[in-house]
Amino acid sequence: MSCHTVKSKNERERIKEHLTIALVAQPNTGKTTLFNTLTGAHAYVANWPGKTIERMEGIFTYKGKNIKIIDLPGIRSLSTLSQEETIAKEFILSGEYDSLIVMVDAETLEKSLYFAVQILEATNKVVIAINKYDEAHALGLHINQDKLQSELNVTTLLISALRGLNINQLIEKTIEVASQKRSPEPAIVINYGILETFIKKISDELKALGFSKDTSRIAAVRLLEGDTFLVRNLDEEKLNKILAYVQQARQEAKERTGFSCEEIIVMSRYKLVEDIIKKTSTRVRVATKAFTESLDRIMLRNFFVGLTFSSLILFSILFFSFSINTGFPLNYIIRALGNEELASLIEEYSLSGILSNLFGIFSVTLESLLHVLNAPYWFIDLTINGVVQGVSAVLTFLPLVFIVNLFMAIAEDSGLMSRVAVVFHRLTSVFNLSGKAVFPMIISLACNVPGVLSSRILENENERIAVSTTISFIICQARLVVLLFFVAAMFYSPLVQSLVTITMYFLSIALFLLSYMFVEKFVLKSKEQAELFIEMPSYHIPSLKVVSWIAWERSKSFITKAGTVIFPMAIIIWALLHIGPSGYVETPNLSFGKMIGDAISKMFVLEGFSKWEIGLALLTGFIAKEVIIETLAISFGTSNPSEAISMLSLSPASALSLLTFVMLYTPCVATVAATYSETKSIKMTLISVLTSLSVAYIVSLFMFYIFSLI
Amino acid sequence: MITRLSLVEGGKVVRIVSIEAGIGLARRLMEMGMFIGSIVTVVEQSYGHIVVDVKGARFALGRGMANKIVVEVIE
Ligand SMILES: Nc1nc2c(ncn2[C@@H]2O[C@H](COP(=O)(O)OP(=O)(O)O)[C@@H](O)[C@H]2O)c(=O)[nH]1
């Protein structure tokens, strides 16, 4: 926050154009703490207009905007009556501000959210700040911010006024709300059940007297609660008429339900609040301090012990999620143990096995349907081989992305992940990378798109950008599919197969670290050292609710990021393969794609795999890496990918070199899109693509020469 | 006794006297509740890091970073 503060009274008056923001909270929520954090020592005392009561105000500028912040007296409820509280309430209902920051105490969530809901019934020019989240979270409270925000219909942030957590975001969001020119509307409309008919009657009367639709409803509700503030300007005759209605409603409600109007209103509100809390938050039991300390002694005291445990945790996450998803490496292990049947069963009933069967059925059904509808041949081809294939390629990865995120969320939520990051920091800091980077690295092993997106957990800006530019070196599952196909077709000995596979993984991780270092040091010219500074929450049993929130949130961003680019790209690539100089063509041999493939393959003369089929496959591999196999099969007119690889008839050195190139070059358009969305920089996105292309080229050439010598 | 956080042994309680770091680092420390005057409990000195307790929250802090924090041992 750049607090350029204005001290003299003259200067203060000169600033006419400012946004007025008021802080509202129940006593003891941390309002004073927040006010001081926002204004620093530059607050001053002013008088309420026309009153002798004082109020605190502060002025500061933030990104060129002048902000006046008013500290309202703490109020318990909108229905209470001390003089100070009345002033605050009237101020809130009067709407003489650009936005309100309504503070909620995370430690007394129910009571304090009730208070906020009362305000939200009147206006949505509000940002809700859930304060003391630091302490409440440490005690096991989890709040789903996005969900709470959509329940409350206004921007909602989890903050700590004491620690300064999310304060800048709070200022930014509040300014955003304050700058909107719309007039306030109720954020929340509560159903008051039996009172609704009276509310309608009274608000109809008020509407007839010129009240707006929104104001008349809230005025009616407040009247039934005994608050006449909103109708204060009516003349006595009209007011009495309205009050007569209110009186009648009170009586009837009492007779029919045995409850007073106030009671019904309060109960309805509390019910809403309870529902919201149930839907958006959860409490977990945290481990005792002694437990946390003893587990930390294992994880953190001795590096090698910690490293063993941390590696085991990460290895199990990958092993289980990969096995559930593709059967790998479980199928290999079982096959090696001699149980072929079980191995194939695992492959068939792995998630991606089931999914690709489903997509197969869908695609066949759709195709015959299109035939029946007499759709033109090119259209059927475009739909089935272009769109459906491209989209299903991405969707097949959804379960994997979800599962890895789920396991990672469990490790994260239990408190283990932060210890793993501390342990790994010792290794990654050699590359000036903080230990938290194991997080995007592990997720990238599943899929680069969420991998890039998860670089957000890195706090240092240069580090975050350098990681999202280079992390795509890490071999994802799509590339693993290609890797396994190539290795199986090229080498016979299982030992060599595994050796090549493992080497590729190490190579890709090493190249990530090196190019990270290069980008961080020479492109971003960072001078900062990767410092270790990691908060370690108390261990606790992960809550299913929290873990599924996290996993779903991250998988959702995978769908939107990958899904939006894959659709047009699938169409473009299809067009390249099916349109040639002579118009629509059925075989790729006559297409523009072949010409491009030809041109691309010219670059690989040195490595000895200069074939147009390969050039084309490298181009289509840009949609999604596993498409490479498919393209090769189509170009050679076979349905067996291993056969296609044999038909390339490459020397072992060329084959290894090709494989290296495929593993290292830009993974796919979806990853490029993710890189752009994380770095928000075309330059960095280009650097990302160029780095991976050139590194892939150089390393694969190198591979070719080394293995030609052997 | 005035010393640096990196040199304080486990079990001691200290008060932060000054932070000799750039704005970026000082700010990150502040966001986590470590500023001049804060009371910090050193839980343990380990191989490359130091574990501290600040207002009930635990942090692992690199040696280099801890070396920039000047503290007074209070108990
Ligand atoms: N843990 C924690 N405590 C806080 C936070 N904000 C305020 N407090 C504490 O809550 C208490 C009340 O704060 P204060 O600002 O006086 O509340 P006010 O009555 O709303 O002005 C004080 O003991 C603060 O130290 C926070 O973000 N986290």
In this structure, the answer to whether residues A415 and A465 fall within a common structural domain is yes
Structural domain for B58, as ranges: 2-73
In this structure, the answer to whether residues A68 and A121 fall within a common structural domain is yes
Radius of gyration of chain B, Cα coordinates, nearest whole angstrom: 11
In this structure, the answer to whether residues A62 and A150 fall within a common structural domain is yes
- Contact list, B61 vs chain A (CB under 8 Å): 532-533
In this structure, the answer to whether residues A152 and A239 fall within a common structural domain is no
CA–CA separation, A246 and A225 (whole Å):
10
In this structure, the answer to whether residues A612 and A701 fall within a common structural domain is yes
In this structure, the answer to whether residues A608 and A652 fall within a common structural domain is yes
In this structure, the answer to whether residues A453 and A545 fall within a common structural domain is yes
pLDDT score, position A13: 47
Give first-to-last CA distance, chain B, whole Å: 10
Per the domain annotation, does A184 fall within a domain? Answer: no
Q: Which atom of ligand 1 lies at the shortest distance from residue A34's CA? A: 15
Mark yes or no for CB contact A528/B24 under 8 Å.
yes
| Contacts A–B by Cβ distance under 8 A | 76
Q: How many domains does chain A have?
A: 3
Per the domain annotation, does A287 fall within a domain? Answer: no
Per the domain annotation, does A125 fall within a domain? Answer: yes
In this structure, the answer to whether residues A345 and A422 fall within a common structural domain is yes
Helix (H) or strand (E) holding A102: strand A99-105
- Contact list, B33 vs chain A (CB under 8 Å): 134, 162-163
Mark yes or no for CB contact A532/B65 under 8 Å.
yes
Distance A159 CA to ligand 1 centre (A): 12
Q: Is the pLDDT of residue B50 over 90?
A: yes
Q: Which residue of A300, A425, A538 is in closest CB contact with B51? A: A300
In this structure, the answer to whether residues A221 and A117 fall within a common structural domain is no
Q: What is the mean pLDDT of each run of 10 residues along chain A (710 residues)?
A: 42 61 91 85 66 76 85 77 76 88 93 92 95 89 93 96 87 92 89 91 91 90 87 88 89 87 88 93 87 92 95 92 82 84 85 85 94 92 83 80 90 91 94 93 92 87 94 92 86 85 94 96 88 86 85 83 78 86 85 91 91 90 83 76 83 92 92 92 96 96 91
Domain boundary among A229, A247, A282: A282
- Contact list, B47 vs chain A (CB under 8 Å): 301-303, 426
Helix (H) or strand (E) holding A678: helix A669-679
Structural domain for A596, as ranges: 293-708
In this structure, the answer to whether residues A93 and A197 fall within a common structural domain is no
Q: Does A292 touch chain B (CB under 8 A)?
A: yes
Domain boundary among A145, A179, A213: A179
CA–CA separation, A464 and A455 (whole Å):
6
Domain boundary among A179, A213, A248: A179
Q: Work out the minimum CA distance from B74 to partner chain A, whole angstroms.
A: 23
Buried b (16+ CB within 10 A) or exposed e, A562-573: beebbeebbeeb
CA–CA separation, B39 and B41 (whole Å):
7
pLDDT score, position A513: 97
- Contact list, A459 vs chain B (CB under 8 Å): 28
pLDDT score, position A226: 83
Q: Is the pLDDT of residue B40 over 70?
A: yes
How many CB atoms sit inside 10 A of residue A392's CB?
A: 20
CATH number (domain holding residue A219): 1.10.287.1770
CA–CA separation, A548 and A406 (whole Å):
7
Buried b (16+ CB within 10 A) or exposed e, A485-506: bbbebbbeeeeebeebbeebee
CATH number (domain holding residue B16): 2.30.30.90
Distance A77 CA to ligand 1 centre (A): 19
Per the domain annotation, does A188 fall within a domain? Answer: no
Q: Does B48 touch chain A (CB under 8 A)?
A: yes
Among chain A residues, CA nearest to B61: A533
Distance A161 CA to ligand 1 centre (A): 7
CATH number (domain holding residue A47): 3.40.50.300
Distance A160 CA to ligand 1 centre (A): 9
Per the domain annotation, does A185 fall within a domain? Answer: no
Q: How many domains does chain B have?
A: 1
Residue whose CA is at the smallest distance from ligand 1 atom 9: A30
CA–CA separation, A37 and A65 (whole Å):
18
Per the domain annotation, does A329 fall within a domain? Answer: yes
User: What 3-state DSSP class applies to A94?
Assistant: helix
Distance A131 CA to ligand 1 centre (A): 8
Mark yes or no for CB contact A301/B46 under 8 Å.
yes
Per the domain annotation, does A104 fall within a domain? Answer: yes
A65: β partners: A62
In this structure, the answer to whether residues A523 and A599 fall within a common structural domain is yes
In this structure, the answer to whether residues A7 and A125 fall within a common structural domain is yes
Substitution candidate for ligand 1 out of A24, A31, A33 with most atoms within 8 A of CB = A33
Rounded to 10°, the helix A303-326/A477-490 angle is 80
pLDDT score, position A10: 46
Task: Enumerate residues 6+ apart whose C-beta is below 8 A from A8.
Answer: none
